[in-house]
Amino acid sequence: MAENGRPKGEERRVQLLGGAAIDGAPIAYIIVWAAVLAVLSFVPIPVSAVLGIGGTFPMSQAAYALVGFVLGPWAGGLAAGIGRLIGIFTAPHTATAGLPSVLSAMVWAAVGGSLVSKKGRQWLLALLVSVLSYVAYLALGWSRGVDLSLGLQTTASNLSGILLWILPTRALAREWIADKNTAKLAGGLALGCWMVNTCSHTFASLLPYVLNPWPANVWRVLIPIIPAEQLVRVVVGTVIGTGVISGLRAIGLFKPTKAGY
Amino acid sequence: MGQDPLVHIDNLSYQYPRAKDLALRDVNLSVRRGEFLGLVGPTGAGKTTLCLALSGVVPQFFGGRFYGQVTVAGLDTVETPISLLAQHVASVFQDPDTQLIANSVQDEIAFALENICLLPEEIRRRIAWAVQAVRLQGLEGKHPSELSGGEKQRLAIAAALALQPEVLVLDEPTSQLDPVGSQEVFATVRELNAELGITVVLASHASEELAGFADRIALLAEGQLVDVDTPRRIFARPDLLSRYATRPPQVAQFYQELARRGMPAPSAPVTLEQATASYEALHEQIQLRLCEFAANMSAASGPPLLSVRGLEHVYPDGTRALQGISLDVQKGEYLAILGQNGAGKTTLVKHFLRLLQPTAGQVLVDGQDVGGFQVSELARRIGFVSQNPDSQIFSSTVEAEVGFALRNLGMNGPALAERVEQSLQTMGLVEHRSEHPLSLSKGDRARVVIAAVLAMQPDILIFDEPTTGQDYRGAQRILDISRELHQAGKTIMVITHHLHLLPGYARRIIVMGKGVILLDAPIRQALHDIPTLSGTFLSPPQIVQFALWLASREQVSLPVLTPEELAACFRSRVGSA
């Protein structure tokens, strides 16, 4: 040991896994998360707004935001896309939205990753996608006889996500997710999951609505169902996320550079 | 052995991410081509980290802060991708489950060979060779999850051996193996080292084997290299080894004990061969005297607490794991169950807890068939500490883990807190109470599981290989706790391969082989019964082997179990006439 207590050797620049990483996340992590999402695809949660095509959604949907928080926007999006793609084939009973749900999963996790990104303008891109999807969804509904008032009531939870995204609550969620305190972590995950899920939901709903337009009177039924569905996603995502992030912190495995915890 | 260093470590320091302290600090070491280097030192000394640094896993997988330089075959382990380093360095980790990925034994061995594009004929040849080298013949088609712990470890070794790398790094590769299996692995590694010139770096607590096979021993402690020298010079320094919780070979302990008793003793030998050779010179200065030893087995009385009647178990794949086992265990006994890997020891004790159902026969607890108990009820009466502590860990803090089972049984409030506190204190885990159990070393994780079982205050405690992965002091600490519990009236059963640790603890020994009981005897008789032990791939502790050689030479009976007992049987010839 050198006299000043510092190691004698020169500090080296460490490259992880020989550079086998995507946007700072080791490929092994992406594969593991894809596998986790594929497995979660097997579990149907019977609280879906889309009653006409099954009435359930796969549990993996509740973890898309989490994957973004843990891997960052690009790696998280990739993991979610791979996981969903595998899930469609291995768990077809929960794949009511089919192949388009792969793209939805990717966007969903990318929005999650952009929430915890400290640098860059990815959060703005996510906001743009969310706002455009929201407007397009309302416009489509209006063109099919859903008046604006009903449309706003049905998508109130989605709108709340966009507003929370614009307000300082996005930074608050990011700060809490990074906090060592487990209660704050859980709070940050809950708030973050709500924002990410509600912002991404309209994007995920667009194509199913184009392909299978539910009538205007169904929109009224969805007024309480959509928030309930989002609440279930938030609870599941928070429970899984609190355990996973606490475990990852405790084990001390390498943290992806874009991770938010 | 070549003189050029194949491995060169220059001022290596390393800090894991989020760790407060350096895991390694200022390590300087060279390993020559063809050398067999042993790494010894207490748990947490940095042996595993050093092994991982040779393969580039530290720092390329873990990240963290890395200082200095490590080169293997001229390749810098920080700058060279792990995939490239793997063609020069093969690793066998402490826990085989972390590196087994294929669906069959032969596929596992073939995996790395396929990845380096060997021809199919060569792959088949190497599979056959590696399977034979680690005694896994007949299991080629089995799924790795169907293998016992020892068999899994041998498979991991076979997969690494098959690569025939320049450097073979093994981190505690024999900790789960029976003694004969352990010796075979050491012999196989030595053979690879001698015949193929493979450089070997092997971390182990098995002093006797390292002394016999290694060219040099590096002693690590608290992340620093304390010394590196020949086994004879390293193991001849009892004060140094004691300070760093490292056990010298038993014959060295015997010679050191002679010296402590004021008798003339030459430089301590470290292998059985050296001990027998040096005894000839020693014989002129010391002489054996008559020694008496207690039988050391409590007389059985009263109805048995646990009774096994004609127990048979056949696994779904047709493996007959138990074949008509009958056994009585009295309240307050301390017994050890020994046997080769796959002898049926763990299968037997799982029946006590109803974790397995008998194919035939029955198990009685206090005269009642265990079939009539709920598993939770049995768990309250019989505590089981499994071979792999991770399989018994569920909670996110040590404190929560210790109270986990109690909470499930409905306990809460001050009673729960008191029970948890008591267990944490007994196992020396108070300072770790808020940490995640999986963030602790394997030795500490084992202590967490034992603490959780202790909190249940069961009548019977079963320890399945409790000392695996522990350094000498850690192993003694666990066994000391088992002895204290025994003295408090608990019935203790220990399954182990570490026969040298049993004297002073177990009184009754049950030797199993291929699903049957081969011997049920007091410890003095059992550890000296070479034919029975060798029949189940066990070998007695080194000091017992030396005592048997002495007994044969001097035509006396020497049923000793420890170096101290053997030294007590000698006196100096000087002044004795």
SS3 A206: helix
Residue B137 CA to residue B135 CA, distance in Å, equals 6
Q: Kindly report, residue by residue over A73-113, the tens digit of the pLDDT.
A: 999 999 999 999 999 998 888 877 778 889 999 999 999 99
pLDDT of residue A1: 47
Distance from CA of A19 to the nearest CA of B (A): 8
Residue B488 CA to residue A58 CA, distance in Å, equals 53
Buried b (16+ CB within 10 A) or exposed e, B306-336: bbbbebebeeeeeeebbbebebebbbbbbbb
Terminal alpha carbon distance of chain B? 50
- Cβ within 8 Å, pair A14-B68: no
pLDDT of residue A48: 66
pLDDT of residue B119: 95
Provide, as residue numbers in chain A, all residues whose Cβ is less than 8 Å from the Cβ of B65.
Answer: 11, 14
Are the CB atoms for A11 and B65 separated by under 8 Å? yes
Distance from CA of B415 to the nearest CA of A (A): 26
State percent of chain A over pLDDT 90: 59
The answer to whether residue B434 neighbours chain A at the CB level (below 8 Å) is: no
- Cβ within 8 Å, pair A254-B62: yes
pTM for the complete prediction? 0.72
Q: Which amino acid is at B250?
A: Q
- Cβ within 8 Å, pair B17-A255: yes
Give the residue from B266, B285, B288, B264 showing the smallest Cα distance to B277.
Answer: B266
Q: Kindly report, residue by residue over B480-512, the tens digit of the pLDDT.
A: 888 988 998 899 999 988 899 999 999 999 999
> Tokens representing B379?
């768990």
- Cβ within 8 Å, pair B61-A251: no
Provide, as residue numbers in chain B, all residues whose Cβ is less than 8 Å from the Cβ of A35.
Answer: none
Residues belonging to chain A: 261
Q: Tell me the DSSP string of B493-524.
A: EEE-S-GGG-TTT--EEEEEETTEEEEEEEHH
Are the CB atoms for B424 and B433 separated by under 8 Å? yes
The mean pLDDT of chain A is 88
What number is the ipTM of this complex? 0.75
CA dist B576 → B242, B281, B286 (Å) = 33, 18, 10
> Tokens representing A223?
């007024």
Instruction: At B68, give phi and psi (nearest 5°).
Output: 85, -155
Residue ranges, chain B, pLDDT below 50: 576-577
Share of chain B residues as helix, strand and coil, in percent rounded to the nearest 5 = 40, 20, 35
pLDDT of residue A17: 64
- Cβ within 8 Å, pair A14-B67: no
Q: Where do runs of H (alpha helix) occur along A18-117?
A: 27-40, 64-71, 73-90, 100-116
Residue A72 CA to residue A22 CA, distance in Å, equals 10
A18 pLDDT higher than 70? no
SS3 B322: strand
> Tokens representing B223?
């992340």
Q: Which amino acid is at B467?
A: T
pLDDT of residue B181: 72
